[in-house]
Structure 1
Amino acid sequence: MTETHIEGPLYAPRMKVYPQAVHGRFRRIKWTLLAITLSIYYLLPFVRWDRGPGLPNQAVLVDLPHRRFYFFFIELWPQEVYYFTGLLILAALVLFLMNALAGRIWCGYLCPQTVWTDLFYAIERWVEGDRRERIRSDKQGLSFTRLRQLVTKHTLWLLIAWWTGGAWVLYFSDAPTLVKDLLTFQAPMVAYIWIGILTATTYTFAGHAREQICIYMCPWPRIQAALTDEWALNVTYRVDRGEPRMSVKKAEQLRQHDQAAGDCIDCHQCINVCPTGVDIREGIQLGCIQCGLCIDACDAVMRQVDRPTGLIAYDTDINAGRRLAGKPPLYRPIRARTLLYGGLIALVGAIMIYALATRSSLDINVLHERNPLFVALSDGGVRNDYTLRILNKGADRAFEIGVVGLPGARLHAIGIPPRASDRLTIEVGQDQTREVRISLQVPGNMVPTAPTSITIQAKDLATGQIASTKDNFVPPASGGNP
């Protein structure tokens, strides 16, 4: 058995990417989406929403101390975590649908890594110049001018990264108050820690790692490759038009003699503008984020050499084969896959909207005391103890607690004066929960011989709204230990 030796590094050394500025339709779309998404992220914590007295007026707030999540008119409690599950399912389905329609458009236009990297690239170009100037500066080494550029660039990067981390923590506290506390060094230490962590990650990922995040760290390109099909639109180099590549002059000469000549003049502009350094002419690759900047660059060159635009365009694998066969292009955005994803999105969305529209502002939970399960009383009766928790998602209310399914039962609560009836009243403040220990006693002549299912109810004395939950009453005859 021979031993195999591998010489050289396992991974190719990283080649620094110097994306060139480009103008065109897809670049304008990316700038527009960048402005919209960053404006939402940075400004949303300062948007106010009046919820009434005693409640926070920040439109979007994760209130960890009180365990609440506020989103404009929606208020979610920890017990409603299933709404977040629904949102995650919706997000996944939307990603699947986007991929089925146009490949990795999420990666190219909306991914946070893409958005912040685009912003950092824009600052780099503004400070150091475009592609050629940056390459030349790196080759020339350090000088006073170069040092000034580097200090300016990294300072701006750190400021953006710092405000990115600062904006994130504003979603967890009242934004204007927290900004004031941060500036006067009176904010909680955990806020400074998280700002520091997010500042470091934003600066590292958007300023230094850049395309390496997309190629090596992000799992979505690998997942997307398994989900796509031949009908999905992807940024495509139309080989049938572009090959064979040659200079403009040579192509004109061949066309004058009715010989084949491709439109691609091998100018490398599609590579120069790519934020990940991909040569789209080699086909769909893991590093291609489908941003469309190579389309803008190629169209500009085609107009300069008086050739039709669209040599690089959003197209499907099906059409690549149809063009080679001399057939017209064919597009099917509506097909079984997209209909399935769209239907699932509509179904999950409808379920969530219905659940939000019909959810109750009152809930009740009960936990049976396990040690002991029951207590035998001296008069022959039996007592079971429970921990009752009432959730009041509305204004201050008083609730009458009762039990159904156990004749002769009497309810008592620790710390609440007893009543002559079989019911007791509990007051719960606005947007609060209240936990009460209650006892359910049954006279000796009415004790059941086996565990009995009961329903404990909480009735709003003002509106008559009722919330209920089920549990069991356990007698000694069931074999339990007193």
Structure 2
Amino acid sequence: MSDLLAQAARKSTAAESDPIIPSADDEPLYESRREIYQQSVKGRLRTVKWVVLFACLGVYYFLPFLRWYRGPNQPDQAVLVDIANNRFYFFFIEIWPQEIYYFTGLLVMASLVLFLMNAVAGRVWCGYLCPQTVWTDLFTVVERWVEGDRRERMIADSKPMSVAKAGRKVLKHFLWLMIAWWTGGAWVLYFADAPTLVKDLATFQAPMVAYIWIGILTFTTYALAGLMKEQVCLYMCPWPRIQAALTDQYALNVTYRYDRGEPRMSMKTAARAREAEQPAGDCIDCHQCVVVCPTGVDIRDGAQLGCIQCGLCIDACNTVMAKVNRPLGLIAYDNDVNIDRRRQGLEEVYPIIRTRTVLYAAMIAAVGLVMLYGLVTRSFTEMSVLHDRNPLFVQLSDGSVRNSYTVRILNKRPLHRIFVLAVDNLPLARLSAVGITTTSGDWPVIDVGPDSTRELIVHVTAAKPADLPQSTRVTFRITELGTGEKASAVDHFISR
């Protein structure tokens, strides 16, 4: 026993001295979160972000109330996901469940557009259009309106809690919850008639599932946009990791032009250095690019995971450069190639049109054209035929042979339609449908209700089976009376 204890002690001592095994004094795997006090900024890119923010929020919150007339007894909401009736309405487009490939095409196009945006201007999606960015920006505006700008919030947080401070905190979180609540409420409006559902929600007559989803989306919006903020971009979002593998040296990214900004020094020191014909950079180390960053990164340290390419540091730096009478654009959208070209005295290049971007654009156009062709040429009538297996055929007393089929006719239009059912490629054939007595010539006439499917048992009888091969390929065809719209399906007639 003593030998075992001695061996264990030696192993413990070796482990403590082994530099490969981490000790308690090593740095933690994850950096502790620090509070980011984002400072407001004015400028061209900030204005662009305001326009995008209001446009995105306006579309999201008010699109369910937009009306679009589709005819009598049809929903008039412009964008509606009608789960009860298995429909998706988007203005004049109506998508059925079996047309899920249109959604697949939209997802493919969205991915390709994201790739194209990345090839042109890096993470421009993250900086301007991402829902996390838009709602976090909105929550930050509310926070700034209630608690003040960066300096006021820092001073207030450094002081002990008081009634006034607690009141501002409560008001801020209340407004955040109201925005989150309306965000969740707007989402469920896409799944039912918006004005009716708003009334039902207010009178507590809406389905329970609506309240559940509003609660879920209220919590997630409040947590992600109000509490977690930049943590979502740093740790939860996969796109920063993916886009790094898709970018190249010609993509425009928010870049600190260190060839011009270094070495950093104060204004007075830089002025003396220039008088002495010594190198002096334009960066005065004011840290304005850092304090306006929503994720708290220092763009002067180069490309980083936390930089969402929002461009606010560009506006902040340009404001400072204008005040110190230095050229604008110390921080700008630029590519990696131009830094080396400027050092060599060469002209800057911005090749937006290149193989990568042309390929992405061509793929987007191809997918879009295929979907457009499908929408333009798609039929509002479909049919399917299934041959009965037991028995495959029946020989009648007069020597003729009968095959039975299950025929399904799908009417995608919101009105009753009348079709004539016929069979081709089978000479001297007779066709009858169980329960159908109306005929047009020798063929049965079938009435199909609006937005519905009708299933029929159909008997096809061949008068001279001896003249037919064992299996004959036949075509079932329906033709709408009046419009002449057609649909067909192929099966086989078994004669022996």
Verify: 1:6 aligned to 2:22, yes or no. Answer: yes
Aligned partner letter, 2:144 = R
Check whether the contact 2:383–2:407 (CA below 8 A) recurs between aligned residues.
no
Determine the C-alpha separation between the residues in 2 that align with 1:446 and 1:426: 31
Pick from 266, 269, 273: which aligns with 1:247?
Answer: 266
Check whether the contact 2:404–2:457 (CA below 8 A) recurs between aligned residues.
no
Question: Which range moves more in the overlay, 438-447 or 5-14?
Answer: 438-447
Determine the C-alpha separation between the residues in 1 that align with 2:240 and 2:228: 17
Aligned partner letter, 1:384 = S
Determine the C-alpha separation between the residues in 2 that align with 1:142 and 1:410: 90
Check whether the contact 2:74–2:414 (CA below 8 A) recurs between aligned residues.
no
Check whether the contact 1:364–1:467 (CA below 8 A) recurs between aligned residues.
yes
1:36-435 matched pairs, under 5 angstroms: 36-370=55-389, 372=390, 374-379=392-397, 381-393=401-413, 395-417=415-437, 419=439, 422-435=442-455
Question: Which range moves more in the overlay, 246-255 or 394-403?
Answer: 394-403
Q: In structure 2, do the counterparts of structure 1 residues 444 and 96 end up closer, same or farther at CA, with 3 Å as the change threshold?
A: same
In the TM superposition, what whole-angstrom CA distance separates every residue of 1:349-404 from its partner, at most 9, and x where no partner exists? 2222222222222222233344x252434535332332423233253210011111
Question: Which consecutive residues of structure 2, in runs of 5 or more, have no partner in the other structure?
Answer: 1-10
Q: Secondary structure at the match of 1:275?
A: coil
Pick from 31, 43, 64: which aligns with 1:24?
Answer: 43
Check whether the contact 2:382–2:410 (CA below 8 A) recurs between aligned residues.
yes
Check whether the contact 1:408–1:446 (CA below 8 A) recurs between aligned residues.
no
Give TM-score scaled by structure 2 length: 0.91
Q: Secondary structure at the match of 1:163?
A: helix
Q: Secondary structure at the match of 2:245?
A: helix
Verify: 1:468 aligned to 2:484, yes or no. Answer: no
Q: Secondary structure at the match of 2:244?
A: helix
Aligned partner letter, 2:84 = P
Determine the C-alpha separation between the residues in 1 that align with 2:86 and 2:414: 16
Determine the C-alpha separation between the residues in 2 that align with 1:120 and 1:420: 67
Determine the C-alpha separation between the residues in 1 that align with 2:43 and 2:82: 43
Q: Secondary structure at the match of 1:171?
A: helix
Aligned partner letter, 1:219 = P
Aligned partner letter, 2:363 = L
Check whether the contact 1:388–1:438 (CA below 8 A) recurs between aligned residues.
no
Deviation at 1:458, TM superposition (A): 1.1
Q: In structure 2, do the counterparts of structure 1 residues 24 and 108 end up closer, same or farther at CA, with 3 Å as the change threshold?
A: same
Determine the C-alpha separation between the residues in 1 that align with 2:272 and 2:391: 97
Check whether the contact 1:395–1:431 (CA below 8 A) recurs between aligned residues.
yes
Deviation at 1:48, TM superposition (A): 0.5
Q: In structure 2, do the counterparts of structure 1 residues 348 and 139 end up closer, same or farther at CA, with 3 Å as the change threshold?
A: same
Aligned partner letter, 1:56 = P
Determine the C-alpha separation between the residues in 2 that align with 1:266 and 1:182: 54
Aligned partner letter, 2:436 = I
Verify: 1:454 aligned to 2:461, yes or no. Answer: no
Deviation at 1:446, TM superposition (A): 5.1
Aligned partner letter, 2:101 = Y
Check whether the contact 2:434–2:458 (CA below 8 A) recurs between aligned residues.
yes
Larger radius of gyration: 2
Determine the C-alpha separation between the residues in 2 that align with 1:415 and 1:141: 84
Check whether the contact 1:397–1:462 (CA below 8 A) recurs between aligned residues.
no
Question: Which range moves more in the overlay, 33-42 or 299-308?
Answer: 299-308
Question: Which consecutive residues of structure 1, in runs of 5 or more, have no partner in the other structure?
Answer: 478-482
Aligned partner letter, 2:448 = V
Check whether the contact 1:18–1:135 (CA below 8 A) recurs between aligned residues.
yes
Deviation at 1:441, TM superposition (A): 3.6
Question: Which range moves more in the overlay, 102-111 or 219-228?
Answer: 219-228
Determine the C-alpha separation between the residues in 1 that align with 2:436 and 2:196: 39
Determine the C-alpha separation between the residues in 1 that align with 2:477 and 2:424: 8
Determine the C-alpha separation between the residues in 1 that align with 2:78 and 2:29: 51
Q: Secondary structure at the match of 1:227?
A: coil
Determine the C-alpha separation between the residues in 2 that align with 1:402 and 1:26: 65
Determine the C-alpha separation between the residues in 1 that align with 2:391 and 2:235: 57
Deviation at 1:437, TM superposition (A): 3.2
Deviation at 1:34, TM superposition (A): 0.3
Deviation at 1:457, TM superposition (A): 1.0
Count matched residues.
475
Give TM-score scaled by structure 1 length: 0.94
Question: Which range moves more in the overlay, 388-397 or 43-52?
Answer: 388-397
Q: In structure 2, do the counterparts of structure 1 residues 101 and 409 end up closer, same or farther at CA, with 3 Å as the change threshold?
A: same
Determine the C-alpha separation between the residues in 2 that align with 1:448 and 1:134: 90
Q: In structure 2, do the counterparts of structure 1 residues 272 and 369 end up closer, same or farther at CA, with 3 Å as the change threshold?
A: farther
Determine the C-alpha separation between the residues in 2 that align with 1:101 and 1:449: 63
Q: Secondary structure at the match of 1:179?
A: helix
Aligned partner letter, 1:374 = L
**CA RMSD of the aligned region, Å?**
2.0
Percent identity, aligned pairs only, is 58
Aligned partner letter, 1:383 = N
Structure 2 match to 1:480 = none
Determine the C-alpha separation between the residues in 2 that align with 1:184 and 1:157: 24
